[in-house]
Chains A and B, each alone.
Chain A
Amino acid sequence: MTTKPRLSVMKTYKLYVDGKFPRSESGRTYEVYDGKGTFVANAAKASRKDARDAVVAARKAQSGWAGATAYNRGQILYRVAEMIEGRRAQFVDDVRTAEGATAPAANRIVDAAIDRWVWYAGWTDKFSQVVGGANPVAGPYFNLSTPEPTGVVVAFAPQGSSLLGLVSVIAPIIATGNSVVAVSSYARPLPAITLAEVVATSDVPSGVVNLLTGDAAEIGPWMADHADVNALDLTGVDADVATDLQIRSAQTLKRVFPARSSDRDTDFEGDPGTARLAAFVETKTVWHPIGT
């Protein structure tokens, strides 16, 4: 029996907003190439409207996500790790295509990305204990400080590290109860879309994670000016764009991470630490008198 060569099914890559996979409302796409310069796919090029829709979805989802128990958030983040593990071959493939990595390097990156989800899954119900606590005030008062999520965070994912960098940015933001609108690497967006497919099937409530493919420099100013965005993660934007976004953020006093130019270099393969968890929380201090 002879087999005819089979034509493969090409995939249409879309955005991930509010738990759905829409095309850009603008109808725009852009061409994505692999590390050798071969055409791979057309990615949706998110517009201002797409980004605003994503902020609406993120806002709607945020209070419910923050209100879930920390234990539950931890289980859901862990579930994301499980789902990536199950689809690791596709992720390895994506990373090889996107970053031109060798098979061993791509495997290492996917391993690290999975482990990063597990690391943050374990943090959800511990971070409050580590950074919060009872304050020994000089008087008959109960005084307690706890971290609370900042709210809606727009994150510009690293341009180089298309999977591990993206995960390293998103996971700490949602671990503490924020919702996120993430803009992927422009030239290497495909791992982000695969990650969206994983998130969509991991019990992460719709709107908690929104993933846009497109140009950070184009979307950035709209998000920095947006009054219903509480914080920006500027990891993936160039220094001059970052400065502009920081200036724009001043109008609504958005939290900006990293805020200092010297803190902008990030090694995603190293120890993630807790800086990214700490960047998107607010400390709330409650006083109450003690008496009979």
Chain B
Amino acid sequence: MPKFDYAPAPESRAIVDIKDKYELFIGGEFVESTSGKQFATINPASEERLATVADADETDIDNAVKAARRAYDRVWSKMPPAERSKYIFRIARLLAERAREFAVLESLDNGKPIKESRDVDIPLASAYFFYYAGWADKLAHAGFGPDPQPLGVAAQVIPWNFPLLMLSWKIAPALACGNTVVLKPAETTPLTALLFAEVCQQAGLPPGVVNIVTGAGATGKALVEHPGVDKVAFTGSTEVGRAIARSTAGSNKKLTLELGGKAANIVFDDAPIDQSVEGIVNGIFFNQGHVCCAGSRLLVQESVYDEVIESLRLRLMTLRVGDPLDKNTDVGAINSAQQLARIQELTAAGEQEGAAAWSAPFTAPDKGFWFPPTIFTGVSQAHRIAREEIFGPVLSVLTFRTPQEAIDKANNTPYGLSAGVWTDKGSRILWAANNLRAGVVWANTFNKFDPASPFGGYKESGYGREGGRHGLEAYLDY
């Protein structure tokens, strides 16, 4: 199949004004870190330095938590809920107004294709604020008793794969329920959170209601372990999730965790193959596979295996990997050198253990972190690439003969975040959905998200839900 060449169609960077240096956002103002320590954030597609951000230490965290507490005690918890609601609506609207600016900044800092940041991340982030804004004055009707109360100060730590979207999943329900927050974005993607701080100022949000502190693991640890925190919400690796669960044990902190996944995407022999292949591609190569719910284990019924693999290879030949700011790009840069090393280590293990790797011809740009979309065939359930979360554009293909075998293999993982089912038969979809041990099941679709739809895992994928009415529970005392 010929691959058509496209002329470059880069989105302009001019819309966003990146400052040379960013400070912490505490008590409604940008302040220097007390230690003066800083670190750089780079563009993973070019390795150019984008800006320098503050490295918050325990003193900064203490200041941020105190600011959040003051705002909680004096303003936010006392405000009529309808007023609280309107502030959050304002934030939703301001985000939508400045959507292109956020999208460009997100793609620069994260490496994801502009068509994803522009069409998925930023519109959804605004939508989450819009959705939760409306809950603020309706909490008595949400099914958590007649008079649910906020918890207080929420410590929130988010990952680098969907920086602004994860911020919205955390901040929107927390504010709607009457909490104030201290949020730490990931160290490789802090910029949209800091731009969000400006949106809070534009919205006139009372100082201290939202505080943004930047830094790496030590900053996050200091935040979740701060005694002045009432609620901890974390999205990230299962390993760090475990450490947080240990450190908050025996405290009064309410904890929700959204952790790793190793989702099965099951294709039955009666599934429409073209649609399934689109779903498989979207399931694992969306956002370079940096998705906790990515469909990283493809389970194909043996009778259609050849057809699916052939079709999948053809489709991979047409995927455009390259400049995240190019509007034609399907797959952007890997977020960091560290993550690239992790992907390389696991794919090497896959080949060593006997699975066969295939990817379309690909020449990586000179600079930046790149990994071409790759599929592994001949994978067994024991292989590391079938068990461990790769968090990259790597698909492991396994086969099955009977529906029960598909379910057994799909559930054969300590994770339980998501799963996919492709079949034309309605009763089989419902049967499979009932038997899959996963928090989100996509049937004849994949990687769909919506503010009204709860998201979260079973088993070692964590606990608690984000999104929908269910998402309020994490931020209420009732």
Chain A contact residues, CB within 8 Å of chain B:
130-131, 133, 135-139, 141, 143, 145, 150, 230, 239-240, 242-243, 246-247, 249-253, 255, 259-262, 273, 282-289
Contacts and interface: CB of A to CB of B under 8 A. Distances in A.
B271 to A, nearest CB: 13
Interface in B430-455: 433, 438-445, 448, 450, 452-455
Given A145-B470, A243-B249, A253 B454 contact: no
Given A253-B463, A287-B445, A260 B452 contact: no
Given A260-B252, A283-B465, A287-B440, A250 B246 contact: yes
Contacts of A243: 249-250
Given A246-B250, A253-B462, A288-B429, A135 B454 contact: yes
B454 A283 contact: yes
Chain A, interface SS category: mixed
A288 B454 contact: no
Contacts of A255: 463
Interface stretch (B95-103, B105-113, B254-262, B343-351): B254-262
Given A259-B254, A260-B254, A138 B450 contact: yes
A17 to B, nearest CB: 25
A17 B246 CA distance: 31
A238 to B, nearest CB: 11
Contacts of B413: none
19 contacts: A131-B470, A141-B448, A141-B450, A143-B452, A145-B470, A150-B458, A240-B250, A250-B249, A253-B459, A260-B254, A283-B470, A284-B433, A284-B440, A285-B440, A286-B433, A287-B443, A287-B453, A288-B443, A288-B445
Contacts of B439: 282-285
B251 A253 contact: no
B252 A261 contact: yes
B252 A287 contact: no
Given A251-B242, A253-B242, A289 B444 contact: yes
Interface of B: 127, 143, 145, 238, 241-243, 245-246, 249-255, 257, 259, 414, 416, 429, 433, 438-445, 448, 450, 452-456, 458-463, 465, 468-470
Which residue, of B250, B259, B433, has the highest number of chain A Cβ atoms within 10 A? B250
Contacts, number: 115
B326 to A, nearest CB: 26
A247 B244 CA distance: 10
B160 to A, nearest CB: 22
The 10 closest A-B pairs by CB, nearest first: A243-B250, A250-B245, A246-B249, A137-B450, A250-B246, A135-B452, A288-B443, A247-B249, A286-B441, A135-B453
B254 A285 contact: no
A249 B438 contact: no
Contacts of A138: 127, 450, 452
Given A253-B245, A286-B443, A288-B429, A143 B143 contact: no
Nearest to B131: A138
Given A260-B253, A285-B439, A287-B443, A253 B241 contact: yes
Interface centre among A130, A133, A253, A282 (most CB of B within 10 A): A253
A273 B143 CA distance: 12
A281 to B, nearest CB: 11
Contact of B460 (A133, A240, A253, A286): A253
Contact of B259 (A133, A253, A273, A283): A253
Contacts of B255: 259
Nearest to A255: B463
A230 B468 contact: no
Contacts of B458: 150, 282, 284
B448 A139 contact: yes
Nearest to B456: A283
Given A131-B143, A288-B445, A261 B250 contact: yes
Given A283-B456, A285-B455, 7 more contacts: A150-B458, A259-B254, A260-B251, A261-B250, A284-B438, A286-B442, A288-B429
A143 B450 CA distance: 10
Nearest to B127: A138
A230 B457 CA distance: 13
A108 B258 CA distance: 44
A235 to B, nearest CB: 15
A282 B251 CA distance: 23
A137 B127 CA distance: 11
A130 B144 CA distance: 11
A262 B145 CA distance: 18
A289 B454 CA distance: 17
A183 B195 CA distance: 53
Contacts of B459: 230, 253
Given A253-B242, A282-B439, A242 B444 contact: no
Given A135-B468, A143-B450, A287 B442 contact: yes
A130 B429 CA distance: 24
Nearest to A132: B470
Given A145-B468, A251-B242, A288 B444 contact: yes
Contacts of A239: 250
B164 to A, nearest CB: 18
Contacts of A284: 433, 438-441, 458
B415 to A, nearest CB: 10
B140 to A, nearest CB: 16
Contacts of A289: 444-445
Contacts of B251: 260-261
A150 B439 CA distance: 11
A253 to B, nearest CB: 5
Contacts of A247: 245-246, 249-250
Contact of A285 (B145, B245, B454, B460): B454
A287 B252 CA distance: 35
A172 to B, nearest CB: 16
Contacts of A145: 453-454, 468, 470
A242 B250 CA distance: 7
Contacts of B238: 253
A286 B250 CA distance: 34
A178 to B, nearest CB: 13
Nearest to A239: B250
**Residue among B255, B468, B469 with max Cβ neighbours from chain A (10 Å):** B468
